[in-house]
Amino acid sequence: MARKQRDVLSVEWIKLELIRAAYATRGGLFSRMDPRVVLLWYVILAFAPWFTHNLTVLAVFFVMAAVSVILARVGPLLLGLFIFGLIMEAGYIVVAAWFFGGDSATVVALAALSLKLGAVSMVSMAAFVSLDPEKLSDALLALKAPELLAFAVSYGYRMLPILVEEFNTVFDNYRLRSAPPATKGLLGWRVVVHWVKMSVLSFYPIFLNTALSVRTTVEALETRGFTYATINRRSREIRLGYLRVSLLDVAVMAVTVGLVIAAFWAGHQWPIHRADLA
Amino acid sequence: MSDPIIELRNVSFRYPGADDDTLRNVNLTISEGDVVSVVGGNGSAKTTLCKTFNGLIPHYWQGEFAGVAEVCGIDTFTSSVAELSSHVGYVYQDFQNQLVRPTVRDEIAFGPVNFGLADHRERTAEALEMLRITELADKFVWQLSGGQAHLAALASVLALRPRIIVVDEPVAELDPARAMEIYERLEVLNREFGLTVVTIEHHAEFIARYAQSVVLMSGGAPVWHLPVQEAVNRSAELAEHGIPAPQIVQAAQALGLADAPRTVPDAARALAHLPVDPTPEPETGTEGASTSEVVASVRGVTFSYNTVLGRRQVVLDGLNVDIRRGDRVALVGGNGSGKTTLLKLLAGITVPRRGEVIVDGINTRQRSASELADHVAYLWQHPQQMFVKESIERDIALFPEERGVEGWEGLVTDTLDQVRLSGFADRDGRTLSGGQQRRATLGIGLAMRPTLLLADEPTASLDVTSREAVTVMLSELATDGTMSSVVATHDMSLVAEWATRVLVLEGGTVIGDLTPGALFARPDLLERANLVPPQITQLGHALGITPPPLNVADFVSRIRKESHHGA
């Protein structure tokens, strides 16, 4: 065995990709839009697939979602996890159908569900990868979400890199100080169990350390007028003052709504239902 | 003497649920434009006192409050934290926890926006300009170095245009060069913008150099509030309260000077009349002539990593070093010079991109990190990240117990004795003081009985007494000569008092491998690596003593010897 420093598929790479996803560092179409419109776009495309069982319509939605993922420049980690999940799901659907004595009708029904979930997942990825923490919390505030929620979202993003690093450190502590399993077991299952156990145990020290450090945070928030802002409307106006709906936003919404309508029309013209394929 | 800006009259305070008063009948007046250092031992209520200035006491901490506190003419009891925060800005000791927004610009604008101030953009720009950090405005908060984050926290309170700034322990986490920067900025704020600055401090050299008056707190009340020269002269009293005198003051008082010098140039002027021996003493330390076996070897190592925005950052470039048995190596260098990376490579936590690291004859590429832990112990910079069990006894026992070391219970008890924490065995490490936490992590490392002990900044954020305790402990651990230690540090007094060998890192390679004495005689190396030698060494330089002394006793004996010759 020879250890090498790897740039891809290493712990460092995973940490970097998480941060890149959270902080929208890759840009993309949706990062240039008004965040409120992005959320509205997301809500439309996340709900639309649930109103139909028509496979034509669902296929169009799936393709739309795939295009939006490309336009939003979703990173390789998330895309990789998604595709891996999709393949595994397809795999176990087939196994389940065969094992429980189902036939092709079952497969088709489960495939319809997969198309719906796939479309909704991809649209979620496209939307949230494009919103950086400021924009997301401002959009929530604009849509009348409570101040505390908006702050919690942006604070969560701010703490994310720190917590990821801390998790890595505590996990390394466990790795170095506890004993690796004596034998690897069949296909290394003992090692996997050991690692899962260490991952879970690593959360407790992080909770405790975070509890200690937020005491200062809460006090400091008081001195920066945080509770004052909840009773003073002016701060909300100032914070949301920069949000502006532009031509790009209108264009994207128009195209999206048009495509949704077209999808339903196509489904009406050439319907494919479960019963047809069985 | 200008007008008072803070006046406390008979102020007492008891925290909710506490048995005793924390503040007892405090009477204190601070004038506008003053630079005040509040000093005192642990438990003397320095932080509590400062929290009465901005209304956190009694409005946030709703305990029992008596007396009158007036700040900028406002009675704090009838006012609110929100109102007082536009007059008093507070920067916490753990300033990283005070930064709540993702970018620096938004962090600075947070206060003004919350208060609904229309000119928040101007205030943000102004605060950035005052501290000269305008280029940091669009960086993410987690990308900032320690010093930059401190300035960002300071800017965020300046945005509310306060007349008073309170900074809790400005120096705690920073290396000496950065620490001076913070104090210089505070000095500019005082001189050019007329702000009143209150710092809680226990590093005597910064008090002596930058403060204009000093408040000594003890048992919840001020003992005295004096101009700085008088305060520094009372070094014995300060030492009793946990503030050992700066090295130059110790030296000056040992040599019979009446007035304690506040800065190194002052001390040099005051002592210039004493004769200095012109012939340099022969170099007594051996430079790398050790003949013990090599326990760890780093050969042609290159290490680089990718950053979030896609650039590749090179940290180490073709580095070669050998660590011998019994070595006490101090690893020094500026921020980002690769000290932590080198330690992690030696521990096998990461492997280099190119080159080899060999520890105890094992190539780190051939073994996993958990197997290498049998030979190397790595102590992280923040002790809290090492406490994974419910008590320090369980933490120390984790390694020997799980690896089936013979007689591990006895080993744990012995280790606790060695680090003098037997009385705290059942306590969670997080409830211990800073110095105790560091000793607990040393205990964890010792129980691993390593060939090589690696420690990352073991004396950072500690007050002087705890620092000295940890330094002494590190020396005791290495006495039998079987264990080698490599310590990454920016604490030059640790280097001077403990290390037998110093590795200076800069630009990804080792630019110097010498004894501490030889290092301090090389101002070019010190300059390149951005290192500040201990005060007594600087004083030795200024008086032309070569090789420069490493501690006060050394310095005093040289001067005495020379004046004895001259007499």
pLDDT band at A148 (very low <50, low <70, confident <90, very high): confident
Residue range A248-257, pLDDT digits in tens = 999 999 999 9
Residue range B34-51, pLDDT digits in tens = 999 999 887 789 999 999
Closest-CA residue to B340 (of B93, B146, B98): B146
pLDDT band at A169 (very low <50, low <70, confident <90, very high): very high
- Least Cα separation, residue B414 to chain A (angstroms): 19
Measure Cα distances from B277 to B39, B166, B517, B558 in Å: 39, 46, 18, 9
Q: Is A238 on the interface with B (CB under 8 A)?
A: yes
Bigger pLDDT: B67 vs A278: B67
Q: Is B364 on the interface with A (CB under 8 A)?
A: yes
B-chain residues near A16 (CB < 8 A): 306-308
- Scanning B281-320 for CB atoms below 8 A from A yields 303, 305-309
Closest-CA residue to A4 (of B319, B363, B297, B365): B365
Closest-CA residue to B2 (of B28, B26, B29, B37): B29
In the block, which residue shows the tokens 């946030």? B60
Query: Which H or E element spans position B110?
Result: helix B104-114
Q: Are strands B362-363 and B354-359 parallel, antiparallel or unpaired?
A: antiparallel
* Least confident segment among A21-30, A208-217, B484-493: A21-30
Report the complex ipTM. Answer: 0.85
- Least Cα separation, residue B442 to chain A (angstroms): 14
Closest-CA residue to A136 (of A26, A252, A240, A18): A240
Residue range B221-250, pLDDT digits in tens = 999 999 999 999 888 888 888 888 888 888
Give Cβ neighbours of residue B231 (< 8 Å, ≥ 6 apart).
B207, B211, B213, B214, B216, B224, B238
A-chain residues near B71 (CB < 8 A): none
Q: Is A32 on the interface with B (CB under 8 A)?
A: no
| CB pair distance less than 8 Å for B101 and A222 | no
- Least Cα separation, residue B194 to chain A (angstroms): 22
Residue range B389-428, pLDDT digits in tens = 999 999 999 999 999 899 999 999 999 998 999 999 999 9
Residue range B98-141, pLDDT digits in tens = 999 888 999 999 999 988 888 999 999 999 999 989 999 988 88
Q: Is A143 on the interface with B (CB under 8 A)?
A: no
Give the pLDDT mean for A220-230. Answer: 85
Measure Cα distances from A251 to A31, A245, A264, B23, B374 in Å: 15, 11, 20, 64, 63
Comparing alpha-carbon positions, the chain A residue that sits nearest to B305 is: A7
| CB pair distance less than 8 Å for A134 and B102 | yes
CA distance A132 to A129: 7
- Scanning B165-224 for CB atoms below 8 A from A yields none
Paired strand residues for B4: B31
- Scanning B71-110 for CB atoms below 8 A from A yields 81-82, 85, 89-90, 92, 94, 96-103, 106, 110
Comparing alpha-carbon positions, the chain A residue that sits nearest to B431 is: A212
- Least Cα separation, residue A132 to chain B (angstroms): 9
B-chain residues near A19 (CB < 8 A): 308
**Residues B9, B212, B69: CA angle, nearest 5 degrees:** 15
